[in-house]
Amino acid sequence: MELFSKQDPAVRQSLNAHINQRWGQLYELEKEWGERALRYLLLTNSGGAIATLGFLGGSPTAINMLGAKISLFLFVLGVFLVGVSTAKTFHHMSHLFKTWKADVDHYYSDKITWEYLQEEDTKRAVEDFWDYAIPYASFGCFIAGSVSGAISLFV
């Protein structure tokens, strides 16, 4: 198959439509699974905290179990980290929207070129280390809280 720039205009238009459809599909999948992951982390850490609180409140000797207290702390920290991740993502998306809107206004008023508009948008739309570290830290809290709780039952 020929390079994109060498294609017949009708073929290019058809390929471009397919590319745009696929980008939209992949974007929606990424967004959906990101939301599912955060809901899962919130649910599991909240459930762990509730179960641990129930255990601590239901047993007179449980309050002296250090492992159960550590478990509760880790589950609550996991819930907190889900909130931090959600807030960070919201603010990042809000910044992308606001700067895109301002740049489009500048483009329409002939202050910047189309190429500059695209370059700036690409620069802003990057992920950073914290986009992954915070949710994985929340998942780590769930695992560590579960292990700590389980160990405290048998020690």
Contact 68, 62 (CB under 8 A): yes
- 8 phi/psi in degrees, rounded to 5: -60, 140
SS3 111: coil
- Structure tokens given for 23: 């980008």
Residue 120 CB coordination number (10 Å)? 16
Please tell me the predicted confidence (pLDDT) of residue 1. Answer: 58
Please tell me the predicted confidence (pLDDT) of residue 75. Answer: 97
Please tell me the predicted confidence (pLDDT) of residue 44. Answer: 96
**Would you write out the chain's pLDDT as a tens digit for each of its 155 residues?**
577 778 889 988 998 899 889 989 998 999 999 999 999 999 999 999 999 999 888 888 877 889 999 999 999 999 999 999 999 999 999 999 999 999 999 999 999 998 999 999 999 989 899 999 999 999 999 999 999 999 988 87
